[in-house]
Structure 1
Amino acid sequence: MTEDTWLARLETEHSALDLARFDRADAWRLGSSIAERALAEGHPVAIDVRTASGILFHASLPGATADNDDWARRKAATAFRFETSTALLEARIAAGGRDMFEPGWLDPAEYAVAGGAVPVRVTGVGVVAVATVSGLPSDDDHELVTQALRELQRR
C-alpha cells in the first residue's frame, strides 16, 4: 500500500469508528477482544485501554516487556493530546515532513508517534478513552486496535 493510500485510509477511518456509548464493561470487552486475538496469533504485545484519569484495562501478553508498557503509555498520551490515532498522526507527519520531536515540540519521554493508539470516540461526546497496543510494527499494532473497535461498534 502506498503512503498516500494508507493516509487516505486512515483519514477515512478517523471519522468512521465512533461508538454510540462506551463504559467500563465496553473497555473490558475491547481490551479482551484485542488480547484474545493477540494470544491466538502469538503476538507479544501490551494492551492498554485508558481514560484521561486512569487505566480501565491492561494486559502484557507472553513475550511483551516493560518497554512495551512504556510505549503504550506514551502512544496513549499522544492520541489524547491530538485526538487522533497515532498511525494517522504518523502518516500525516510523514506526508508533511515535519519532525514532531524538534526542540520545543513533543518530549519523547512523554509522547510517542508510532501507530497503535486509537481514540475511543462516542458520538456527540468526543474522545472518552484511548485503546493502545504496543509490541508489533506500528501498522499491525494499529490494526489490532481498529479491528476490535469495529467489533465493538457492531454490538
Structure 2
Amino acid sequence: MGDMSEPDVTTIIAEVEAQEAELVLATFTHEQAWRLGARLVELATERELPVTVDIRKGTQQVFHAARPSTTPDNDSWIKRKVRVVYRFGASSYLVGLRARAKGTDFNADQGLLFQEYAAHGGAFPVRVAGVGIVGVVTVSGLAQQDDHALVVEALRELAGSRPAA
C-alpha cells in the first residue's frame, strides 16, 4: 500500500473530476485568455514560482510567458501535456491519475511516446458551456499537483466560481 499520509488516488480523481465539472465558462475570448495568463504570471511572481504559463485557443498559442529559473524544457513539457488534454478530453493530471489508479504506465498502456505525451499535472481543458473543450491552460515548473492547483486557482477567479464544499 502507498503512504497513508497522502489522499487515496481515487479521492484525488474525484476532486479533479469535480473541478473539471465546475470550471466551465460561458465564453473564452482572446481577452479572457490574456487576463487568465496575466493572472497566472502575477500569482507566480508574488509567490516567486519558477513556472512557464501557456494558453491556447484551439491550436493557436494565445499567451506564453516564462518566469526566471525556467528553461526550454518547460516548453517541451507544456506541448506534451497539451497533447494529452486534446487527445483524452481531460486535464493531464486526471489522465495520469486514472492510469495510476489502474496500476498502469500511461505511455506504455496507450502506446504513446513519452517525448510526445506527458500525463503529468499542469494542463487543464478550457471548456465553454454547450461547446466543450475550446482550449488549454498550462503551467509547467512545479510538482505536477502544484502546477494543476495554480491553474485551477486562476480559472476559478476567471469563472467567478468558488470550490465546492
TM-score by length of 2: 0.89
Task: Write out per-residue CA displacement over residues 29-70 of structure 1, whole angstroms, 9 at most, x where no aligned residue.
Answer: 111111100111011111000133210000000111110111
Given candidates 71, 95, 98, the residue that maps to 2:101 is 95
CA–CA distance in structure 1, aligned partners of residues 104 and 124 of structure 2: 21
Query: What is the CA distance between 1:6 and its match in structure 2?
Result: 1.1
In structure 2, stretches of 5+ residues that fail to align are: 1-6
Does the C-alpha gap of structure 1 residues 102 and 58 become closer, same or farther in structure 2, counting only changes over 3 Å? same
Q: Name 2:51's counterpart in structure 1.
A: 45
Q: Does 1:84 align with 2:94?
A: no
Given candidates 49, 55, 60, the residue that maps to 1:54 is 60
Instruction: Report the aligned-residue RMSD.
Output: 1.4
Moved over 6 A (4+): none
Given candidates 16, 40, 45, the residue that maps to 1:10 is 16
CA–CA distance in structure 1, aligned partners of residues 93 and 132 of structure 2: 19
Q: Contact between 1:135 and 1:141, CA under 8 Å: does it hold in 2? A: yes
- Aligned partner letter, 2:69: G
Q: Does 1:27 align with 2:33?
A: yes
Does the C-alpha gap of structure 1 residues 23 and 108 become closer, same or farther in structure 2, counting only changes over 3 Å? same
Does the C-alpha gap of structure 1 residues 103 and 17 become closer, same or farther in structure 2, counting only changes over 3 Å? closer
Task: Write out per-residue CA displacement over residues 117-144 of structure 1, whole angstroms, 9 at most, x where no aligned residue.
Answer: 0000000000000000000000000011
- Aligned partner letter, 1:114: H
In structure 1, stretches of 5+ residues that fail to align are: none
**Corresponding residue SS for 1:101:** helix
Task: Write out per-residue CA displacement over residues 77-108 of structure 1, whole angstroms, 9 at most, x where no aligned residue.
Answer: 11111110011111111111122211762121
CA–CA distance in structure 2, aligned partners of residues 153 and 89 of structure 1: 23
TM-score by length of 1: 0.95
CA–CA distance in structure 2, aligned partners of residues 17 and 80 of structure 1: 17
Q: Name 1:129's counterpart in structure 2.
A: 135
The alignment of Structure 1 onto Structure 2 pairs a total of residues equal to 155
CA–CA distance in structure 1, aligned partners of residues 45 and 34 of structure 2: 16
